[in-house]
Amino acid sequence: MRGKKRGLTPFSRTPFSRGRRGSALLDAALVLPILLSLMFGTVEYGHFFFWKHTLQGAAREGARTAITANALNSEVINAVRTAMNAAGVDQSKYTVKIRNGTDTADVDVKNVTAGNAVLVKVYAQWGTVGMRPLGLISASKQVTGQTVMRKE
């Protein structure tokens, strides 16, 4: 029996493992909050950029309508609504502005002369449209999509 320790089988704990019994639980308790924060933060920022892309696409559709020769503001707004409805967004969640190219004043697109810029801006408040699992992005943050095109 020389060289063998009594009472220990290959599956039993060694005397050296007594201090490590709770280390896996402690490691999990320290790492889990960090991993969950990263996961939910990624989801929140991903959702923000989804909304930004959706609003940008709707603004582009509105601008494409606005630059035609006989366009009306109502047609521009309808083009934005069509794009947003296709994305499943209710019109009460966003606002549409039609402005001159420098974004200083609202314009009537039928009065814009050829060659001048028209800006279509679609925006929403993050608190209205956003998913905020951690609240990393403020509810008052404005998500904006805008496009500038020259009138034909």
C-alpha dihedral (135, 137, 141, 145), degrees to nearest 10: -130
In whole angstroms, give the CA distance from residue 46 to residue 131. Answer: 10
Considering the domain boundaries, does residue 3 fall inside one? no
In whole angstroms, give the CA distance from residue 43 to residue 130. Answer: 11
Considering the domain boundaries, does residue 1 fall inside one? no
Per-residue pLDDT, 117: 92
pTM of the model: 0.77
Considering the domain boundaries, does residue 69 fall inside one? yes
- Per DSSP, the residues of 15-42 read GGGGGGTTHHHHHHHHHHHHHHHHHHHH
Considering the domain boundaries, does residue 4 fall inside one? no
Per-residue pLDDT, 4: 56
In whole angstroms, give the CA distance from residue 132 to residue 152. Answer: 42
Considering the domain boundaries, does residue 13 fall inside one? no
Per-residue pLDDT, 15: 57
Considering the domain boundaries, does residue 130 fall inside one? yes
Domain that holds residue 65: 20-150
Considering the domain boundaries, does residue 112 fall inside one? yes
In this structure, what token pair is assigned to residue 30? 């320290």
CA neighbor of 86 nearest in space, from 131, 55, 116: 55
Q: What is the pLDDT along the chain (152 residues), one digit of tens a residue?
A: 565 556 556 655 655 555 566 788 888 888 999 998 899 888 888 999 999 999 999 999 999 999 998 999 999 999 999 999 998 889 899 999 999 888 888 899 999 898 999 999 999 999 888 877 777 888 889 999 999 999 98
To the nearest 10 degrees (0 to 180), the angle between helices 73-86 and 23-66 is 150
How many structural domains compose the chain?
A: 1
